[in-house]
Amino acid sequence: MKSENLSEIPEEIKEYLSMAAEGDVEALASATWWALINGKESLGVQWFEEFSDKITPSDTAEVTEFEVSRRANVVSNYCFLKLAIDFSDNEAIEALDAAAQWSPEAAFAPVLISSRNGNQEWAQVILKSLSRECVEIVKGVYSGVCSTAQENGNLDSWFVNWAKDALEILESLPPSIDPSTPNPSQVSPDLKMVSIKSIYLGGAAVHFADAHNVETGEDIDNRIEAFLGFDCWAHVSKLILDGITVGLVVIPYGPVFGNADIVGVLEAAENGAEIPLGAFLTEELIEAGAFAVGNITSTSKILVSGYSLGSPTDESDSDLVLDCAGDFTLAIFTTDTSFCDGLVALLDKDLAESLGKYIRTA
């Protein structure tokens, strides 16, 4: 074992290091976790770099998902150790992303990094996209970190301060909804929300129509609308599942509506960037509820417009034509069925049915 300064290390951790040298993933996870809590970041990095090859399976080895999750915990610990020493925020976020599916602490890390950098709005966007279970696990882990540090009289390590800041964010949240309550953002792990652009809605409503039929003049009545008020804008995003557009999300803003901050975050994202779905749907669905107000069938494309329907043109700022084929349900997120005071979602009929607990018939 090459590690130096072992005289400062408890015998239990020395045993873990011996086990890690034999390829024990759990042992290396425990050793690097101890290094994090106790402010031994350089040692923790040294241990990971010394033993990481031992826990990496060969190309021919069969690896279970459980084993992948255990290795992800080690990688997560290493990323935090490096963040404490010399990782930039972007390097840390990129490295932690590889472990985020299995490590709640890794999934939560971008929230705290954004918050520490003063980007509170984006921190809230990411936070709201996390599952309730993930949030509860992170809260429990960091509470444990602080309790252990209190018992050991070691309250000033980098990771303990990280845990304190995380708990400050988590404890400011409103009372948790029962974790058993389904989170609409978790309907499918492959469901993505992709920001597109803002359009001017003009006089009254947002219209959705079968763009193919509008172009040909056939079946012009195959359209549906939601009344939003007068003289407003709306940001349009699309929902993607396995590469197929399964819905549109319209967030109104302007003189009558708020949402400018949320739209600002969306428009600041790179073109085509994936946006955490739960940041927008979860709060609206659970707190305001939604009404399904009608259905529409699209043969190939859907026209989104704020004016009277005509032939869609690529040049028009008020028209947006998107590839969407199939049966769709229009849901308005509102406390009053006569007027939409929330967002509007045009959802694939099957997706809308899967959210039936939240979407009621008006």
Q: Give the pLDDT of residue 271.
A: 58
Burial of 104 (0-12, 13-18, 19+ CB in 10 A): buried
Model confidence over 3-28: pLDDT tens digits?
445 667 888 899 999 999 998 888 89
- Give the residue ranges of DSSP H helices in 56-209: 65-85, 89-97, 104-116, 120-129, 132-152, 158-170
Residue 265 has pLDDT above 70, yes or no: no
Residue 275 has pLDDT above 90, yes or no: no
Q: Within 10 A of 4 (CB to CB), how many other CB atoms are there?
A: 10
* Furthest CA-CA distance within the chain: 83
Cα 207 to Cα 345: distance, rounded to the nearest angstrom:
12
Per the CB < 8 A criterion, the answer to whether 331 and 292 are in contact is yes
Q: Give the pLDDT of residue 177.
A: 37
Provide the percentage of residues in the chain whose pLDDT is more than 90: 17
Q: Give the pLDDT of residue 142.
A: 93
Closest CA to 201 of 297, 302, 339, 308: 308
Per the CB < 8 A criterion, the answer to whether 218 and 323 are in contact is no
Provide the percentage of residues in the chain whose pLDDT is more than 70: 67
Please list, in sequence order, all residues whose beta carbon lies within 8 angstroms of the beta carbon of residue 56, skipping any fewer than 6 positions away.
Answer: 71
Mean pLDDT of 165-182: 63
Cα 20 to Cα 14: distance, rounded to the nearest angstrom:
10
Tokens matching residue 170:
């988590």
Q: Within 10 A of 198 (CB to CB), how many other CB atoms are there?
A: 18
Mean pLDDT of 276-289: 51
Q: How far is CA 128 from the centre of its chain?
A: 7
Mean pLDDT of 269-291: 55
Mean pLDDT of 258-263: 66
Domain ranges of the chain: 6-170, 184-361
Closest CA to 27 of 37, 16, 18, 38: 16
Q: Which DSSP category does 103 fall into? A: -
Residue 269 has pLDDT above 70, yes or no: no
| Mean residue pLDDT across the chain | 75
Q: Does residue 33 sit in helix, strand or coil? A: helix
Model confidence over 106-145: pLDDT tens digits?
989 989 998 898 887 778 777 877 777 788 889 989 999 9
**pLDDT grade, residue 98 (50/70/90)?**
confident
Q: Give the pLDDT of residue 50.
A: 92
Model confidence over 31-71: pLDDT tens digits?
999 999 999 999 999 999 999 888 776 544 556 667 777 88
CA distances from 251 to 90, 140, 150, 160, 280 (A): 29, 34, 46, 39, 9
Residue 358 has pLDDT above 90, yes or no: no
Q: Give the pLDDT of residue 44.
A: 93
Model confidence over 232-255: pLDDT tens digits?
778 888 888 767 888 888 887 766
CA angle 77, 118, 97 (to 5 degrees): 30
Q: How many CA atoms lie within 13 A of 354 on its CB side?
A: 15
Per the CB < 8 A criterion, the answer to whether 34 and 6 are in contact is no
Tokens matching residue 345:
């979602």
- Give the residue ranges of DSSP H helices in 153-284: 158-170, 211-216, 260-268, 278-283
Mean pLDDT of 172-177: 52
